[in-house]
Amino acid sequence: MLGFLVTVLISYIAWLAFTFSFVAGNLIAGAIVSLCVAFISSRFLFHKKPSEVFNPVRWGYFIGYLFILLYCEIKSHFDVAYRIITGRINPAIIKVTPHMRTDLGKTLLGSSITLTPGTLVVGAERELYMHTLYYEKGHETGETFGKISRKVVGE
């Protein structure tokens, strides 16, 4: 039930942010649409503890995570541009052990790895198998993301 309410709240905020008009008809239409969305999708979204959405500690970690991700994105963006121009590549498939218990954490880590240019998750089982464009020994990605992403998903 709490998951239903949280879904209604989030989709109503998204509706207001996208339409951005506060006349009565728009507010009522947004309420109806977000109730329909929550009725369909709330049982897929929240399995346990929906009140964790409002945990400020995890939001703080998430914002810090976004800044680290942005830094890594920009750094590896210039790195991949250099590799494309010079052609110095050293591709490898390496194994990343995420130490994550939940699927959410693995999804977050895998999406971040794939989003960064130069690294690409090609297979995900218990470990993640990552294709990297330039492999250097002792320079394994995943450790920088791994620690803070465990805290974002609350493990």
Partner 1 sequence: MIEIITQILLYMSSISMLIGAIGMLRFPDFYTRVHAATMVTIGGVCFSLLLIAASTFWSIYTLKTVIIVIFMLFTSPVIAHALANTAYELGIKPKNLSKNIIGIKKLKEVMEKEYDI
| Interface residue list for partner 1 (CB under 8 A) | 14, 17-18, 20, 73, 77, 80-81, 84-85, 87, 89-95, 110-112, 114-115, 117-118, 120-125, 129, 131, 133, 135
To partner 1, the closest distance from the beta carbon of 143 in angstroms equals 16
> Which of residues 45 and 80 has its CB atom nearest to partner 1 in the complex?
80
Rounded-to-integer distance, Cα 2 and Cα 104, Å: 20
> Which of residues 60 and 123 has its CB atom nearest to partner 1 in the complex?
123
To partner 1, the closest distance from the beta carbon of 132 in angstroms equals 9
Q: What's the CA angle centered on 125, arms 121 and 131, to 5 degrees?
A: 20
- Other C-beta atoms lying within 10 Å of the C-beta of residue 137: 5
To partner 1, the closest distance from the beta carbon of 115 in angstroms equals 5
- Other C-beta atoms lying within 10 Å of the C-beta of residue 111: 12
- Listed in sequence order, the residues at least 6 apart from 142 whose beta carbon sits closer than 8 Å to its beta carbon are 96, 97, 98, 109, 113, 128, 130
To partner 1, the closest distance from the beta carbon of 10 in angstroms equals 13
Rounded-to-integer distance, Cα 56 and Cα 62, Å: 10
> Which of residues 29 and 81 has its CB atom nearest to partner 1 in the complex?
81
